[in-house]
């Protein structure tokens, strides 16, 4: 039994960590912090947790108490982990950061996209990008994990087999992504109101989105060189789920794409390559740490289309964070992550 802390637990990734950890056989939540809600019981804020964490209340961040944990999750806006991670690491606590703070290896690029200077560049060399399908061995040894973003997870898993094998033109990739509204967080903003966001579909950030440099960095790792990517996210009238539709142009005759994908992910517990001709639905991964993929080659032409779905709050955030924790502490990789998706 290990003890974990959660910093910034009032948002959707925070409550999702609690929901999933309630089923984890080897983890106890020792502390969950929130400046604004300190003193409030988590089950008063999130009634789905009534009966599960009845003694747990939000507390002021306290680095001594957090430092006594084996691991601490950051479910915070960007910038917070910069401030606190170093101190916790110094106390021997492992840090699993769900924010963007340590995802980009280049502190200057981070500063450009986030509009402030990087707060802990000295930690960057220790940070491991927590995508197990690409960095599993490094994760096992890591003390600081940057959990990938939701869009980056769906896009990287979908394009990985094609880029690793050099089958497509890496200079002209297209990722048309559709996300449920929890991707925008729990902040009270007019465009996220049910009255504004339901019964409608729209793109946003077509000119440039903060996940773009992260995706490019990850795809470049897979491709072994720079990539060119057009990334258009869309707001979809649903609570959870990301559907990434990925387009690449074949540069060589690819052989059996279905077999390529199946082979690539044969040993991956959380990537499910669906049968030829499938169209994965986001609801098939609602609440679970799974990425389902299908690969198409319309009309046997030179364009390959990959369909990739995840739950943005699970494989795109809190579930992937726990998968990283499991690897770091030698637990079964699917501990706490074994239940099937809720469907319908």
291 has catalytic annotation? no
Of 254-293, binders to its own copies (CB under 8 A) are 272, 274, 277, 279-288, 290, 292
Establish if 344 lies at the interface with its own copies (CB under 8 A): yes
List 159, 223, 307, 321, residue binding its own copies (CB under 8 A): 307
Contact 67, 93 (CB under 8 A): yes
Assigned token pair, 111? 């500063």
List 67, 87, 109, 247, residue binding its own copies (CB under 8 A): 247
**Residue with smaller CB distance to its own copies, 30 or 281:** 281
**Residue with smaller CB distance to its own copies, 70 or 311:** 311
Min. distance of Cβ 290 from its own copies in angstroms? 8
List 207, 266, 267, 330, residue binding its own copies (CB under 8 A): 207
Distance between CA 166 and CA 222 in Å, rounded?
9
How far from 324 is each of 13, 22, 112, CA to CA, in Å? Answer: 15, 17, 28
Piece of 95-103, 104-112, 305-313, 317-325 that binds its own copies (CB under 8 A) = 305-313
Strand 58-59 with 94-97, pairing: unpaired
Distance between CA 66 and CA 87 in Å, rounded?
10
Contact 191, 197 (CB under 8 A): yes
List 4, 6, 7, 15, residue binding its own copies (CB under 8 A): 15
Distance between CA 53 and CA 24 in Å, rounded?
13
Of 322-341, binders to its own copies (CB under 8 A) are 338-341
Q: Quick count: other Cβ atoms within 10 Å of Cβ 77? A: 14
List 49, 69, 80, 223, residue binding its own copies (CB under 8 A): 49
Please give the positions annotated as active site: 150
């Amino acid at each position: 039994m290990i003890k974990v802390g959660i910093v910034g637990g009032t948002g959707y990734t925070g409550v999702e960590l609690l929901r999933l950890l309630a089923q984890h056989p080897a983890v106890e939540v020792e502390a969950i912090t929130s400046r604004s809600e300190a003193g409030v019981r988590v089950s008063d804020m999130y009634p789905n947790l009534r009966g599960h964490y009845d003694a747990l209340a939000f507390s002021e961040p306290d680095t001594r108490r957090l430092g006594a944990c084996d691991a601490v999750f950051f479910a915070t806006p960007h910038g917070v982990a910069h401030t606190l991670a170093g101190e916790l690491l110094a106390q021997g606590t492992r840090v699993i950061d769900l924010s963007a703070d340590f995802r980009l290896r280049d502190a200057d690029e981070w500063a450009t996209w986030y509009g402030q200077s990087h707060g802990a560049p000295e930690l960057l060399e220790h940070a491991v990008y927590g995508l197990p399908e690409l960095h599993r061995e490094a994760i096992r040894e890591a003390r600081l994990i940057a959990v990938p973003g939701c869009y980056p997870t769906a896009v990287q898993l979908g394009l990985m087999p094609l880029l690793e094998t050099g089958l497509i033109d890496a200079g002209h990739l297209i990722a048309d992504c559709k996300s449920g509204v929890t991707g925008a967080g729990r902040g009270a903003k007019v465009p996220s109101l049910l009255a504004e966001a339901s019964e409608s579909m729209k793109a946003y950030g077509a000119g440039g989105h903060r996940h773009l440099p992260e995706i490019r960095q990850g795809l470049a790792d897979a491709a072994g060189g720079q990539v060119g990517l057009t990334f258009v996210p869309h707001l979809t009238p649903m609570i959870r789920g990301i559907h990434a539709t990925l387009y690449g142009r074949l540069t060589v005759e690819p052989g059996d794409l279905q077999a390529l994908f199946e082979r690539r992910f044969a040993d991956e517990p959380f990537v499910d390559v669906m049968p030829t001709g499938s169209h994965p639905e986001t609801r098939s991964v609602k609440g679970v740490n799974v990425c389902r993929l299908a690969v198409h080659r319309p009309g046997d032409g030179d364009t390959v289309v990959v369909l990739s779905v995840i739950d943005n709050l699970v494989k795109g955030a809190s579930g992937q964070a726990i998968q990283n924790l499991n690897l770091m502490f030698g637990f079964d990789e699917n501990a706490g992550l074994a239940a099937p998706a809720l469907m319908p």
